[in-house]
Structure 1
Amino acid sequence: MHPTAIIDPSAVLADDVEVGPYSIIGPEVEIGAGTWIGPHVVITKLTKIGTGNKIYQFASVGEDCQDKKYAGEPTRLVIGNNNVIREGCAIHRGTVQDQGVTIIGDNNLLMTCVHIAHDCVIGNHTIIASDAAIAGHVKIDDFAIVGGASAVHQFCHIGAHAMCGGATYLAKDVPAYLMVNGNPAESHGLNLEGLKRRGFSDEVLRELRQAYKTVYRKGLRLQDALTELEQQTASPELQLFIDSIKNSTRGIVR
């Protein structure tokens, strides 16, 4: 611990946690082994951080949310393991109107000045690029990528392995595997390069391409496209695509 760091007596830090100059660790904060806290970081309260994380200068972690309904309830923030949270990020705790907790999984990269609002659920291995603004109640699934300066509306759901290009405005859900871009966002095919890098087989890629054509190229109503997809025997990967459409609550980007 740097001598200028301020650690609340109720905070619980593993023995090897490093806390840099002028950082503040607030009440009821837990920080796991191997985590590095840089200079000028504020971790406000009621936050649990796992192992092996790196949090860079001027990040604000576990602050009260900006929802006007918030009335000081003891909501929480839970961050998993091996995340990198770069300079100037702001991550807020949850609200009692939802589950009362904001959740960030493992192995995520939040680039500079990313905002994660109350009640978001971020999966594992995601990348959220600089200046992206993720509004309240958003869910981002594993391996998704959100481009820099993008804005994601409340309650949107970004499916696994999807990619949102830079400066995207997203007001609808993004099915798994898609690439979307624009204001408002439009589909630009599958994130094939990302899927290849993650070891998806040629057979699965062919199946997903055909499913994409069914939903996006045949001119079918969405329900008719889903009916056609559900009539075939689906691999787990295709079923994930189907489920990400069926479970949408805001409509999907098309």
Structure 2
Amino acid sequence: MIDPRAVVHINAELADDVKIGPFSVIGPDVQIDSGTEIGPHVVIKGPTAIGKDNTIYQFTSIGEDPQDKKYADEITRLEIGDRNVIREFCTMHRGTQQDQGLTLIGSDNLFMAYTHVAHDCVIGDNVIMANGASIAGHVHLGDHAILGGFTLVHQFTQIGEYSFSAMGSAITQDIPPYVMVGGRPTRPHGINSVGMERNGVPPEVIRQIRKAYKILYKNNLRLEDAIEEMEDMAGESNELSNMVSFLRNVTRGILR
């Protein structure tokens, strides 16, 4: 399963069926669970834990030191879940002690070629980052979010579940769940109804989210007033409750 031309440190922990291609380098304090396949010319540095059934393509760099001038060789981690596809030339860095010391990536995500996940990011499940999309340090990316090609996300930004960014978006403030953004400068452009439909969100819930979007973006309300109005209509809707909770915890203001 391990090509004889690969270099695997004696302190790396690999499940018996892990596949590693030629010229890949697996460092100490790296854990790789069963079913994961590592292509050729991949570098993985620890402490890094990689779950089950991941596919990591050639020329990726996983678990490298964070690109942060405050970093001074502290022990920090990268954790990757299950069934992720990580394509060519992706880079994923460990955390820093200025945050939780952890970069955390969920499961069932697709990271296309040349994507970058910086230190201390938290990525949910079923996320897609298209070619060249890059997220700076401390970014939180919710479940089912999609970042179009060459999207750039400012540090400490939160991006909600089912949100969608068009190609070349520059995101400098938080994006609420279900919202699509794009253009130059980047602005909101409705809700990601297609993404929700594809994942089985009921039509009635999508209609409620569309109403909430109008309250937030079309009624010329202050953010706090819009949140209160949305809260009144949320009822037992988990989706609207999630949206309200997100808005009450924004860190950089929302893109409006």
TM tier, smaller: over 0.9
| Residues 99-114 of structure 1 aligned to structure 2 (within 5 Å) | 99-114=100-115
Deviation at 1:183, TM superposition (A): 3.4
What is the distance in 2 between the residues matched to 1:209 and 1:90? Answer: 36
TM-score using structure 1 length = 0.98
Deviation at 1:219, TM superposition (A): 1.1
Which contiguous aligned blocks of 4+ residues in structure 1 show a shift greater than 4 angstroms?
Answer: none
TM-score using structure 2 length = 0.98
What is the distance in 2 between the residues matched to 1:205 and 1:132? Answer: 27
Q: Which residue identity lines up with residue 45 of structure 1 in the other structure?
A: G
- 2:12 is matched with which residue? 11
SS in 1 for 2:68: coil
What is the distance in 2 between the residues matched to 1:142 and 1:208? Answer: 17
What is the distance in 1 between the residues matched to 2:232 and 2:108? Answer: 36
SS in 1 for 2:173: coil
| Aligned partners of 1:171 and 1:184 also within 8 Å | no
Deviation at 1:21, TM superposition (A): 0.4
Q: How many percent identity over aligned positions?
A: 52
Deviation at 1:241, TM superposition (A): 1.4
Deviation at 1:252, TM superposition (A): 0.5
SS in 2 for 1:230: helix
What is the distance in 2 between the residues matched to 1:16 and 1:231? Answer: 53
Pick aligned residue for 1:244 from 238, 246, 250: 246
Deviation at 1:199, TM superposition (A): 1.1
- 1:31 is matched with which residue? 32
- What RMSD over aligned residues (CA atoms) do the two structures have, in Å? 0.8
Whether 1:144 and 2:145 are equivalent positions in the alignment is: yes
SS in 2 for 1:200: coil
Tell me how many residue pairs correspond in the alignment: 254
Whether 1:164 and 2:175 are equivalent positions in the alignment is: no
Q: Which residue identity lines up with residue 236 of structure 1 in the other structure?
A: N
SS in 2 for 1:176: coil
- 1:120 is matched with which residue? 121
What is the distance in 2 between the residues matched to 1:188 and 1:234? Answer: 26
Structure 2 runs not aligned, ≥5 long = none
SS in 1 for 2:224: helix
- 1:211 is matched with which residue? 212
Stretch moving more, 183-192 or 18-27? 183-192
